[in-house]
Structure 1
Amino acid sequence: MVKYEIFVSRKPVDGREIEELKGLPVIKPFQVHGAGIAFVGKKSSLPPKADALVTDSKKIWIGVLSADCLPVFLVGDGTVGIVHAGWRGTLKGITYNAVKYISRFSPVREAILGVCICKNCYEVGEDVRKLFSSEYESCFEPLGNGKYLFDLRKANRIQLKAAGVPVIREIEGCTVCNNDLYYSYRKEKTEKRILSAIRII
């Protein structure tokens, strides 16, 4: 497994404005809440249109922006990955797909779930719940009146386990409960974002 370093921005820093860390450029995708994955080896003029990035380069960071969605860090033998997983990306299997993509180059040894909205704060409607298959049933806690609490972390754990990732860890923190530290779109309707980034060292 490669040696790696993780970075998670905190208030009042806006992650959108971070272009480099420790003298190395940060590559961020143009996120579309989809299931697209892009391999990046160096900084280019146009950001890749994707919700997951993978690299084997020690000369860049790869990062995603979030303000309630879940960042997932993936660590392989010669590569690292970063995933932006909201409920739409999760529904499309973005985390599972990213693991399978990296597995073409090297096994994914470890995943780290980043800071996101927690299961006690993430309320969704029946319209969202009915889109998910029965394997995600345990991720929804009914509140009544067609409302549910959704466990975004658990849903992505299901994908990581299904993809065969042996070690799954978590970074503590909820964007709503810990809104003094992290930006939350639901809590404050902000355009500012958290940057979650990873690099090979």
Structure 2
Amino acid sequence: MNYEIFISEKPQDGREIKEIKGIPVVTPVQVHGGEVSFVASVPTVPPISDGLITDSKKIWIGVLTADCLPIFLVGEGAVGVVHAGWRGTLKGIAFNAASYMSKFTRVKKAILGVSICGGCYEVRSDVRNSFSKEYSSCFTEVGDGKLLFDLKCANRVQLKAAGVEVIEDLNFCTICNNDRFFSYRKEKTKKRTLSAIRLL
């Protein structure tokens, strides 16, 4: 279970990082969906996907975020990375990625990366109404039809449903820790944080 994680910080724009330590980084075209792609090398055309899995030691796989939740998956001989905003979470991206990976290796743990926290992520009631009752504990009413949504809580529900027993949290928020990480909600920035993982 040897792996390495990389998370870019300000002022570096993660979109500009094409390699880390001389090893290429593969990022998908993210569409806030539920699709997962397997990559074994640098593709000629990036996959349209919000989850990547690899068993190659010759590439990093990464996602770009500025409030959405990056999730790292660690297995025996394989790693994964997920981009989970509320729409991707609604489509089951974390469950899909962990289930896909479980077909050929046990997912030993998931690591929740840098994202907006449950105390900062304000949504309208239509977002809560889109989710089933199993996610009700992930929402907190704050009045005037507004709620706080805990993305990490929602994705823990999915990871546990997919059989992932160990879930770690890096405990960084894009708004609380805005001095270090980009937040679209706070800054309306086009810059992104790169969260990447590779096998060693």
Q: Return the alpha-carbon distance in structure 1 between the equivalents of residues 196 and 91 of structure 2.
A: 22
Give the corresponding residue for 1:52. 51
Deviation at 1:45, TM superposition (A): 1.9
Matched, 1:194 2:186: no
Tell me the TM-score normalised to structure 2 length.
0.99
- Structure 1 residue runs without a partner (length 5+): none
Q: Return the alpha-carbon distance in structure 2 between the equivalents of residues 156 and 129 of structure 1.
A: 14
Q: Return the alpha-carbon distance in structure 1 between the equivalents of residues 190 and 91 of structure 2.
A: 24
Deviation at 1:77, TM superposition (A): 1.1
AA at the equivalent of 2:142 = L
Matched, 1:168 2:128: no
Q: Return the alpha-carbon distance in structure 2 between the equivalents of residues 157 and 44 of structure 1.
A: 30
Deviation at 1:172, TM superposition (A): 2.0
Structure 1, residues 25-69: CA drift from partner, whole Å, max 9, x if none? 000000000001010000122111000000000000000000000
Give the corresponding residue for 2:152. 153
AA at the equivalent of 2:7 = V
Give the corresponding residue for 1:3. 2
Please list, as runs of the form range in 1=range in 2, the aligned pairs for 1:6-155 lying within 5 A after superposition.
6-155=5-154
- Runs of 4+ that moved beyond 6 A: none
- Structure 2 residue runs without a partner (length 5+): none
Deviation at 1:144, TM superposition (A): 1.2
Q: Percent identity?
A: 64
Give the corresponding residue for 1:180. 179
AA at the equivalent of 2:58 = K
AA at the equivalent of 2:179 = D
Q: Return the alpha-carbon distance in structure 1 between the equivalents of residues 164 and 118 of structure 2.
A: 22
Q: Return the alpha-carbon distance in structure 2 between the equivalents of residues 182 and 196 of structure 1.
A: 11
- SS of the counterpart of 1:12? coil
Q: Return the alpha-carbon distance in structure 1 between the equivalents of residues 161 and 23 of structure 2.
A: 34
Deviation at 1:103, TM superposition (A): 0.7
